[in-house]
Amino acid sequence: MAKKKGLVKGVLFLVLILGVLILGLLLSRRSKQRQPGRGIAGQKIITQNFPEQQNRANAPDFTVPRLGGGNFTLSSLKGKVIILNFWSTGCLPCRQEIPDFVELYKKYKDNGLEIVGACLDSEARVKPFAKAVGINYILVLAGQEIGRQYGGIRYIPTTFIIDRRGNIAKKHIGYTSRETFEKEIKELLSEKTE
């Protein structure tokens, strides 16, 4: 009788393990299938446009600690097109955007592009991560107050595209492709600033 109970428990354990493996496989397949308007793992992508210059909202200025020391003030970049990206090291979609930001910065920095990675983690966590992945753009340590100034950062990544006048032209919530960012910054880099 004891042998039978042990055998039943063993079979149930194997069935449970197989069920977990099958569920994991199904979820990983689903996450690889991207649908229009969906990002990594089916995450909904929300884009808010402010196409006309006169309708764009002024980007709130802030001063925060810069990774590695000193302070950074957003308004010091006025006259540049800025990608302001709120992210965290533990966020998979955030991490998947980073190589695109690295490449975009290399390609467009001489044309007036700046990228500011506003990380929601501690410096101790960000510094080794940034070095390991080769981040070449400005990294700052953002607090909750900065997030509130930008309407509350509920989901990450949340990215703002800021024009040369310091106004928000676009807002993206969720993973956004390099092609989308590149198209938007090229348009803003070509705008006259008069």
Q: Are residues 81 and 66 in the same domain?
A: yes
134 close to 102: Cβ distance less than 8 angstroms: yes
pLDDT of residue 31: 42
Backbone angles phi, psi at 93, to 5 degrees: -60, -35
CATH number of 112's domain: 3.40.30.10
Q: Are residues 46 and 28 in the same domain?
A: no
Q: Which residues, at least 6 apart from 9, have a Cβ–Cβ distance to it below 8 Å?
A: none
Segments of 104-174 assigned E as strands: 113-119, 138-141, 158-162, 167-173
Q: Are residues 19 and 46 in the same domain?
A: no
118 close to 82: Cβ distance less than 8 angstroms: no
Residue-by-residue pLDDT tens, the chain, 194 positions? 666 666 666 655 555 555 544 555 555 444 444 333 444 444 444 555 544 444 567 999 999 999 989 999 999 999 999 999 999 999 999 999 999 999 999 999 999 999 999 999 999 999 999 999 999 999 999 888 888 899 888 899 999 999 999 999 999 999 999 999 999 999 999 987 66
Domain that holds residue 5: 1-33
Q: Please state, in angstroms and rounded to a whole number, the distance separating the CA atoms of residues 71 and 50.
A: 29
- Identify the residue whose tokens are 């080794």: 128
- Tell me how many domains the chain contains: 2
